[in-house]
């Protein structure tokens, strides 16, 4: 095979890798050709690794459904907004990086999307210029599953978010929330005023995601935890874990 990999397109179909020569076709023409040959009406995942994919967006927008969209940190903010504008209605799950967003207001538009899951990653966790997620940003999030990896959030704001959830004044669709951070999470500050009931370690419950086969937490046995009750009687469990150099806050809503 030629060492010039730009001459080829690699397609993974039913777990099998297929290599085709491009023969001068554009990205849009390639996608048309692949969809015709594979008779594919649904794409499990589309990955964007660069901003040169603009011409592929119109054809992708015609698909009935894209299960998940992954946006790498190499895609700039302009591309991300254009992509979401065209594809947000044909996908249910977004996995992306916060690094490329210059301001919080633009980033909040992503959180407001009516998605099944939104996963936000941060590549440079200790970058002092990255913005901290506000309470308002958390409150406008509308995803069933919200996964945050190294996103900066103050523990006080996280506490206020859970208090508002208890009062049924935050995202009513939320079923699963996870924050993984290298910052320290104070257990006392996080739990203040939540009236959480600590469950014995002998208590085990199985959390199942309702409608997202690719979720990082499709099924998990929850041992112990801290239970809180929403004003409408809905119960949820908080898990707070501290490990060397990392803290994990996980929230399960029992539907």
| Ranges of each domain in the chain | 1-40
At 190, give phi and psi (nearest 5°).
Answer: -65, -35
Geometric angle at alpha carbon 108, from 104 and 112, rounded to 5°: 175
Residue 99, phi then psi, degrees to nearest 5: -50, -35
- In sequence order, the 6+-apart residues with CB closer than 8 A to the CB of 49 are 72, 74, 75
Taking a C-beta distance cutoff of 8 angstroms, is the pair 62, 39 a contact? no
Entry pTM: 0.85
Residue 178's DSSP bridge partners are: 147, 250
The packing angle between helices 104-111 and 77-87, to 10°, is 20
Rounded alpha-carbon distances, angstroms, from residue 83 to 9, 87, 139: 21, 6, 24
End-to-end, the C-alpha distance of the chain in Å comes to 53
Q: Which pLDDT score is estimated for 2?
A: 38
Q: Alpha-carbon distance 82 to 77, whole Å?
A: 9
The one-digit pLDDT tens for each residue of the chain (255 residues) are 334 445 666 666 677 777 777 777 776 677 777 777 777 777 888 888 876 666 677 777 877 788 899 988 888 888 888 888 888 888 989 999 887 777 777 788 889 999 999 999 987 766 666 668 889 999 999 999 999 999 889 999 999 999 999 999 999 999 999 999 999 999 999 999 999 999 999 999 999 875 554 444 578 899 999 999 999 999 999 999 999 999 999 999 998
Characterize the bridge pairing of strands 204-208 and 197-198.
unpaired
Identify which of 49, 71, 168, 169 has the alpha carbon closest to the alpha carbon of residue 118: 71
Return the pLDDT at 26: 72
Q: Which residues contact 122 (CB under 8 A, 6 or more apart)?
A: 97, 98, 99, 130, 149, 150, 151, 152
Which residues are within 8 A (CB) of 1 and not within 5 positions of it... i.e. 6 or more apart?
8, 19
Cα–Cα distances (Å) from 32 to 28, 69, 139, 142, 177, in that order, read 6, 19, 40, 33, 37
Using CA atoms in the order 127, 133, 134, 139, what is the torsion angle rounded to 10 degrees? Answer: 180
Are the C-beta atoms of 63 and 43 separated by less than 8 Å?
yes
């Amino acid at each position: 095979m030629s060492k010039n990999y730009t001459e080829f397109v690699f397609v993974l179909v039913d777990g099998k890798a297929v290599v085709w020569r491009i023969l001068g076709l554009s990205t849009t023409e390639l996608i048309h050709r692949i969809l015709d040959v594979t008779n594919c009406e649904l794409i499990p995942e589309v990955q964007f690794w660069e901003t040169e994919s603009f011409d592929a967006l119109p054809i992708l927008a015609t698909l009935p459904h894209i299960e998940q969209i992954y946006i790498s940190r190499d895609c700039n903010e302009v591309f991300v907004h254009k992509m979401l504008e065209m594809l947000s209605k044909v996908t249910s799950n977004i996995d992306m990086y916060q690094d490329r967003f210059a301001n919080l207001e633009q980033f909040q538009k992503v959180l407001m999307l009516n998605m099944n899951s939104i996963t936000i990653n941060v590549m440079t966790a200790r970058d002092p210029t990255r913005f901290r997620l506000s309470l308002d940003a958390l409150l406008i999030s509308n995803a069933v599953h919200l996964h945050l990896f190294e996103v900066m959030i103050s523990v006080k704001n996280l506490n206020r978010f859970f208090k508002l959830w208890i009062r049924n004044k935050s995202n009513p669709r939320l079923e699963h929330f996870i924050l993984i951070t290298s910052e320290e999470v104070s257990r006392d500050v996080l739990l203040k005023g939540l009236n959480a009931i600590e469950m014995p370690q002998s208590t085990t419950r199985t959390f199942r995601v309702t409608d997202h086969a690719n979720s990082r937490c499709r099924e998990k046995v929850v041992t112990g935890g801290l239970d809180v009750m929403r004003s409408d009687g809905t119960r949820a469990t908080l898990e707070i874990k501290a490990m060397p150099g990392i803290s994990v806050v996980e929230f399960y809503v029992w539907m």
